Amino acid sequence: MTRQTAIRLPDETYERLQTLAQRTGRTATYYIREAIEQHLDDLEDVYLAERALERLKRGETRTYTLEEVSRKLGLDD
């Protein structure tokens, strides 16, 4: 299922998008979707990293050294 939405773009961004679409034979919608999906992945990663850092700062989680992980996994042989 897909849903439709509308966005407003600055003139320069709109023109760049239209030029790219014309030059590549793809639709502007394709590039808008691709840009949103890629950026959304990045934003989600940043959000998760910030939450993990906050938990670490509050002492709710801890880190492990490479030596600890290697020893635990039996990789230090």
Residue 1 included in any domain: no
Helix axes 28-57, 11-24, angle to 10 degrees: 120
Residue 2 included in any domain: no
Residue 66 included in any domain: yes
Number of domains in the chain: 1
Cβ distance 63 to 56 under 8 Å? yes
The dihedral sign for the CA sequence 25, 31, 37, 39: positive
Residue 51 included in any domain: yes
pLDDT at 77 over 80: no
Give the pLDDT band of residue 38 (cuts 50, 70, 90). very high
pLDDT of residue 41: 93
Which domain does 54 fall in, by range?
A: 11-73
pLDDT of residue 15: 98
Residue range 40-69: mean pLDDT, rounded = 95
Residue 5 included in any domain: no
Residue 4 included in any domain: no
